[in-house]
Amino acid sequence: YLGISISTDSDSFQDVVVKIQRPTYHKPFLGGFKNRITGVEFHNAGSQTIPKKRPDKGIQVFCRETQTVFEKNKLQQTKNTTSTQMTKIGLYVSNKTDKLLSPGKYLTAEEYHKRRLDAVIVLQTYFRRWHAINVVQDLREKKRLRLAWEAQEELRKKKEKEEKLRREHERRLNPKTKEDFELVYQALELWRQEETERINRTLSGAERKAALCELLEEEAALIASIGRKKLNADEENQSKAILRFLDKCAQPKRWKAYDGKITEMDTRHTLRARELFEIYRSISKDCFTKGERRDVLLTLRRTVKEHECELTWEIVELIDREVDLMSRKVKECNLEGLRKRICTLFLQFIKTPKFNPEVARMLKVPPDPLKLYKNVHFCHSCENYLPSTEFPVPANSRTIGKCHLCCKLDNEARGREAFLKYRLILEDLRRSEADYEDDAKVAFLLQYQDLQYMIENIWGCQSALSACSDLYDLVMVRWDKQREWSPWNTILLTKDEADAHLKLCDHQKAYEVPFIHRIKHKHIQAKNSFAQIPAMMTFLHRSDNQAN
């Protein structure tokens, strides 16, 4: 606001308040003049007024300038000047460079499009030929790769079969484990049956009896030879088992961190166990010289002298005796029994938790005898009290029968069956069920005797698809992979067939109806056989609920 005095009369003035409004826009210059003497600029009055706003009509309008057409003049003059001068009187124009043009055939629209269509057809022909050549080459390459893969797979299977036969032959010649001796006794039984059948078929009367007696003597001699090999294998396996046991006691404590790294820590008990393990491994070797052997014995003597008891006194006495005999230059073969006795007593020293605390968690027999009474059962065959882990417990068993050792002796004497194939099938089944991670339990409750019953009596020892009877190549997998494995949700196939079966999304569409009915019939047989077991009833109801 601005106050201004205005004269109303010749002698009076009036104060008037004038409101000054600052413009919010840049005033356009609409003309004016300038005083050259003073340099003052005077603008026209129109530039000081606020322009009047036009009322909004709701329609977008444009000014006249946006509606005008910009015109541009451009000369279209040819670069080369030409003429149409003709020969006339007084002017001669040469016609040597002239060309005579004649009109060609008129091309209609139909003919034009037909010619384009013919050209397109030619292009498509060449393109399809090129594409067909590529497809054929691709198929030929795939066929070559497929034939090469099939040949490689056939060669691999052939090599695996030869390696399996060679390994089985080697296991029969040099048996080391319990499964190896099962194969040896099975081969012995097959040989005895073949010889008995040959004798009964070809001989009769006294000759037959004499041949059977001779066969019995040969069988007894073979059994004695197998028994000697078993004693040697048991001694070797026992020494290896002792070393594995001591090495397991000497292992450091391990645990996995949050980042997946394994952390190891040695305690004073593991260090003590490792020290005893190294001493035992040293005194059990026979490759030392007399001086090295004497140093090992002195180290052992200092170790056992830390504890005073009858066992350590006896070990010290035997060590002094061996050192004295070595000083008298006694032969190594005469010291063998004494050294074995020292190893045996020192092993007893290591297995005592008082001297080796780390061994307490590895012993099968707990230090507290009262804990044994809970899981001890009586074997009616060998009349020994054994822990429950020494008894086979099939799924259909109701009482505790023979122990493992008695079952093995009975099989070697009469049945002579090899259960290695069924154990391998059961191990593969449990491994595959563990990979599903869906809390499957039935496969871990069954024993190899139950699996043997299923394979022999229900599935006929052959694949459901190809009728392959090689048990080393057969596996049991889920029929419906959405449900856990059970005797009524399984199928016996080869390894390749099992891989293809597990990739199916809907086996109802992949297999024919008669094949599905045959598999369902086998499932009903298995369900009727295992439904009588009380432990299986819960899983039977649960599988029915999953199917529903």
- pLDDT digit string, tens, across residues 113-144: 999 999 999 999 999 999 999 999 999 999 99
SS (H, E, C) 41-65: EEECHHHHCCCCCCCCCCCCCCCHH
Sign of the dihedral through C-alpha 125, 130, 135, 136 = positive
Q: Among 58-72, 338-352, 470-484, which is the least confidently predicted range?
A: 58-72
Cβ atoms of 491 and 501 closer than 8 Å: yes
Specify the pLDDT at position 41: 84
pLDDT tier for residue 361 given thresholds of 50, 70 and 90: confident
Distance CA 50, CA 25 (A): 9
Contact 396, 406 (CB under 8 A): no
Cα separations in angstroms, 16 against 45, 218, 465:
21, 149, 116
Q: Return the closest-CA partner of residue 303 out of 281, 284, 275, 322.
A: 275
pLDDT, tens digit, 9 for 90 and up, residues 299-321: 988 888 888 888 889 988 998 89
Sorted by sequence, the CB contacts under 8 Å of residue 358 that are 6+ apart come out as: 249, 250, 269, 270, 272, 273
Q: What is the mean pLDDT of residues 518-531?
A: 86
Give the pLDDT confidence of 263-276 residue by residue, as tens digits. Answer: 888 888 889 888 99
Helix (H) or strand (E) holding 34: strand 32-34
Nearest CA to 179 out of 171, 187, 190, 189 is that of: 171
**Are 49 and 42 in contact, with CB atoms under 8 Å apart?**
no
Helix (H) or strand (E) holding 172: helix 109-173
Quote the CA–CA distance of 181 and 408 in Å, as a whole number.
10
> Is residue 421 scored above 70 in pLDDT?
yes
The residue with greater pLDDT, 541 or 235, is: 235
- Please tell me the pTM assigned to this model: 0.61
Indicate the angle between helix axes 206-249 and 178-202, nearest 10 degrees: 170
Phi, psi at 175, each rounded to 5°: -70, 140
Lowest mean pLDDT among 44-58, 232-246, 335-349: 44-58
Question: How far is the CA of 88 from the CAs of 82, 83, 93, 268, 327, in angstroms?
Answer: 18, 14, 9, 133, 151
Distance in angstroms (rounded) separating the CA atoms of residues 312 and 185: 44
Backbone phi, psi, residue 220, to 5°: -65, -40
Helix (H) or strand (E) run with residue 295 in it: helix 290-304
Residue 359 and residue 353 in contact, taking contact as beta carbons nearer than 8 Å:
yes
Given pLDDT bands bounded at 50, 70 and 90, which one contains residue 174? confident
Q: What are the structure tokens assigned to 62, written together?
A: 């444009």
